[in-house]
Amino acid sequence: MSVSENFRGKRVLITGGLGFLGSNLARQLVEFGADVVLLDAMLPLYGGNEYNVADIRDKITVEIGDVCDKATVDRLVKGCHFIYHFAAQVSYIDSIADPWRDLELNCAGLLNVLEACREYAPEAKIVFSSSRMVLGKLEYNPVDTKHPTQPLSLYGTHKLTCEKYCAVYHRTYGLSTVVLRISNPYGPRQQMKHSKYCILGWFMRQAMEDKEITIFGDGNQIRDYVYVSDLVFQFLRAAVTDEAVGGVFNAGSGVGSRFVDAIEMVVDIVGKGKIKHLPWPKDYENIETGGFVADMTQEKKIFGWNQGVDLREGLKQMCEYYTAHSGHYW
Amino acid sequence: MSVSENFRGKRVLITGGLGFLGSNLARQLVEFGADVVLLDAMLPLYGGNEYNVADIRDKITVEIGDVCDKATVDRLVKGCHFIYHFAAQVSYIDSIADPWRDLELNCAGLLNVLEACREYAPEAKIVFSSSRMVLGKLEYNPVDTKHPTQPLSLYGTHKLTCEKYCAVYHRTYGLSTVVLRISNPYGPRQQMKHSKYCILGWFMRQAMEDKEITIFGDGNQIRDYVYVSDLVFQFLRAAVTDEAVGGVFNAGSGVGSRFVDAIEMVVDIVGKGKIKHLPWPKDYENIETGGFVADMTQEKKIFGWNQGVDLREGLKQMCEYYTAHSGHYW
C-alpha cells in the first residue's frame, strides 16, 4: 500500500494546524484525500496563519480553539484515525519568561490529546513533534536517539516530559504513539514576525528588507537544517509504519551545515542584506548545546527516507515563496 | 562544622511539612535550633497530619497553604537558607485518575519554589524529594543514578520532569539544587488511612487490627526499605554537602528485602494478622518495575552515611509508635 492510500478517506486531526509544520503537512494530506481537521488557537506571535491554508480552505475543517481546552480536544479526537500534535509553546525564550504557561501548553495540552485518545480513539496513530532541545549539551555527533537527555531549558524539559507521556500511554495504555525529534526546520509558511524561533526565516526576511543581520559569535556552530518537505515525508511515514509505534525518531536532514554558511547562502540567494558579528549575550551561552547533526541511519531504514532537499535548493524555494507572499507574513 | 551547626538559627522551609518525611525532618531541625517553617495544604487522604508535630508545635511555624499558590510560596521562600520540597501528589493511582492535577501539584508546585528562589533566595539550598519511580523497568541491580529513566507512570514522569527542573535551574540559573531519589520509606508518622502508598504502613495497620493482609503474586519482589531516620540523615547531609549541589542521589538503605519477608516480619512483630496471596490485577502488572535495590556507594562516600537501621528494628520502632498513637492515624 502506498503512503497516500493509508490516508485516503481517513480522519486526521492536526493540532497547531495553521502553523508552519501543521499547514505544510495538511496540504499533502488533502492531496492524499484525507479528511483533515486543523485545531489552532491563533495565539498572537505564534506560527498560526490562516493564509497558510487559504488555497485549500474549502477542503479542510478549521477549528479555532485551544489544545488546553479539554472539551474541544475530546470532541475533535472522536473518530480520528491519525493525530498530529504540533500545538505548543514554541519559543524557549518565552518558556523562561512564563514557565507555567509553557507547562500548560506543552504538557497539559498533550495530556488532553492522549487522555482523549484513551477514551474516544484508542486505535488512532498519534505523532508527537518533539525537539532536539531535549538533549542538552551534546556528547557526540551525529546524534542518535540513544543520546542522554539533559535539557538546558524548560522548553526542552517539557518536550522531554511529553516524550515520556507518549511512552507511558503506549506501554501502559496501549496507545500507538510515535515521537519525532525535529532538528532545525525551515521552508515556506513559517512565521516571519519575530526572531524568537525559526531564525533562518527571520534572517531571510532581514535580507529581503536589505537590513543588517546580526550573528552572535563566529557562527561556526553546526546545525541540521531540514527542509519542510522532508519533514512532511517523515511525518507521513512515521504514522503508517507499524515498526515505528512506541518509538522515538530523529526528524532531520542528517547533514551538518555551519550556521554562518547558511546565513551567507541566504544573503547570496536573496541578493541583499549584510552580515554583522556580535559577541554572545550571557544568557544565550548557557543554552547553547554545541554543534548538532541528526543521525538519520535508523530513520532512513525504517521510513524509507533517503535523499533530502539540499540546503541551497531549499532556501531558494523558500525565498521564492516569501517573495511572492511576503505581505501575509510580515 | 558538624551537621547541626549548619542549621542553627537558619531559616528552613519544608513544603509538605506536616507529612511523613517533612515532619520527621522538622523534628530533627528543631533539635538543631533551626527556624523551621512548614507549608502544608492538608489535602484529604494525603499524609499531612497536625499530630505529627503536636509536641514541637510551639517551636515551629505552620502555614496551611498550597504550593500551587505562587503568592504563598513567594512569601515563605523569602529569607530562606534551606528549602526541602516534599509537597506532591504522592499516589501513582491518583496520577492515573487525574493526570492534570498530578501535573499541577508536582510540576507547577516545584516551578513556584524554584522561581521564588530565583527571585527571593538565590543562595538557598533546595532539596527535592524524587522517587525511584523515575526509572521504569530496571535493567540492573543495585541501581545507581546513571540508570536509564523510562518511567512507567505519569507519577514517575512528573518526578523526572522535576528532576530536570532542578538541573535546569542549577545549570542555567545557578541555583543550588540537590535531588534525592527515595526508595521505599517507612517509619513513624506516615499516613495509615489507605493503601495507595506506604504499603508497609497500611499492612502494619491491618495486622494491628488482626485482619487478613492481601499480597499480590508470590511477594518475591525485592524492595529497598529505608527507615525514616536514615532518610532524615541523608536529607540533612544533602543540604550541607557542597559536592552534592546540582547532583542526583539515591536515598535508600542499600539493602534488598523480599516484600513477603517484610510483611511476615510485620505480622510477627505485631503478633496479629494473617497473610493471603492473590494474583496480580492486570493494571498493577504494567507498572511493576521488577526488583529494586538502591546502590548507595556514592552516597555513603559523599554524605558519610554508613550503617542504616535494620528492617526488623525499624519495624519494631514503627509498631511501638503506632501502638501508642494509633488514634491519630486511623
pLDDT tens-digit series, residues B20-79: 999 999 999 999 999 999 999 999 888 999 999 999 999 999 999 999 999 999 999 999
Nearest to B111 among A100, A111, A160 (CB): A100
Interface test with A, best of B107, B150, B173, B248 (most A CBs within 10 A): B107
pLDDT, average across residues B88-110: 90
Nearest to B157 among A168, A286, A287 (CB): A168
Q: What percent of chain B has pLDDT over 70?
A: 98
Both ends of chain A: CA-CA distance in Å?
42
Contact A286 B171 (CB under 8 A): yes
DSSP symbol at A106: I
Q: Which residue of A has its CA nearest to B162?
A: A157
Contact B103 A108 (CB under 8 A): yes
Contact A103 B99 (CB under 8 A): no
CA distances from A44 to A30, A89, A147, A195 (A): 26, 11, 35, 14
Between A266-280, B160-174, B246-260, B277-291, the lowest mean confidence (pLDDT) is in: B277-291
Q: Which residue of A has its CA nearest to B282?
A: A172
For A178, phi and psi rounded to 5 degrees?
A: -135, 135
pLDDT, average across residues A258-278: 95
Contact A167 B158 (CB under 8 A): no
d(CA A125, CA A117): 9
**Average per-residue pLDDT for chain B:** 94
Residue B226, classed as helix, strand or coil, is strand
For A268, phi and psi rounded to 5 degrees?
A: -65, -45
Q: What is the pLDDT of residue B202?
A: 92
Q: What is the pLDDT of residue B321?
A: 98
Interface of A with B (CB under 8 A): 99-100, 103, 107-108, 111, 115, 150-154, 157-158, 160-161, 164-165, 167-168, 171-172, 286-287
pLDDT tens-digit series, residues B270-317: 999 999 999 888 766 666 677 899 999 999 999 998 879 999 999 999
CA B165-B168-B169 angle, to 5 degrees, is 85
**Nearest CA to CA, how far is B211 from chain A (Å)?**
32
pLDDT tens-digit series, residues A205-226: 999 999 999 998 889 999 999 9
pLDDT, average across residues A242-264: 97
Contact A152 B161 (CB under 8 A): no
Contact B152 A171 (CB under 8 A): yes
Phi-psi region of A217 (alpha: psi -120 to 50; beta: other; left: phi over 0): left
The residues that bridge with A62 in the sheet, in sequence order, are A38
Cell numbers linked to A160: 522531554
Q: What is the pLDDT of residue B101?
A: 93
Which of B306, B167, B164, B178 is CA-nearest to residue B241?
A: B178
**Average per-residue pLDDT for chain A:** 94
In this prediction, residue B84 has a pLDDT band, given cuts at 50, 70 and 90, of very high
In this prediction, residue A258 has a pLDDT band, given cuts at 50, 70 and 90, of very high
d(CA B264, CA A103): 44
pLDDT higher than threshold 90 for residue A7: yes
d(CA B322, CA B317): 9
Q: What is the pLDDT of residue A194?
A: 84
CA distances from A248 to A14, A202, B83 (A): 19, 29, 36
Nearest to A172 among B111, B158, B287 (CB): B287
Contact B154 A165 (CB under 8 A): yes
**Nearest CA to CA, how far is B56 from chain A (Å)?**
36
Contact B164 A172 (CB under 8 A): no
Nearest to A152 among B161, B168, B287 (CB): B168
Q: Which residues of B touch A167 (CB under 8 A)?
A: 150-151
Q: What is the pLDDT of residue B283?
A: 67
pLDDT tens-digit series, residues B221-265: 999 999 999 999 999 999 999 999 999 999 999 999 999 999 999
* B247, B310 Cβ separation under 8 angstroms: no
In this prediction, residue A283 has a pLDDT band, given cuts at 50, 70 and 90, of low
Q: What is the set of domains in chain A, with CATH numbers?
A: 3-185+225-253 (3.40.50.720)
Per DSSP, helices labelled H in B123-258 are: 154-171, 199-208, 228-240
In this prediction, residue B210 has a pLDDT band, given cuts at 50, 70 and 90, of very high
Q: What is the pLDDT of residue A297?
A: 96
pLDDT higher than threshold 90 for residue B1: no
pLDDT higher than threshold 80 for residue B196: no
Preceding amide of B148 cis, omega within 30: no
Please give the interface size between A and B, counted as residue pairs whose CB atoms are below 8 Å apart.
66
Nearest to A111 among B99, B111, B172 (CB): B99
Both ends of chain B: CA-CA distance in Å?
42
Nearest to B165 among A157, A167, A171 (CB): A157
The ipTM assigned to this model is 0.92
pTM: 0.95
Which of B73, B72, B11 is CA-nearest to residue B37?
A: B11
Q: What is the pLDDT of residue A286?
A: 62
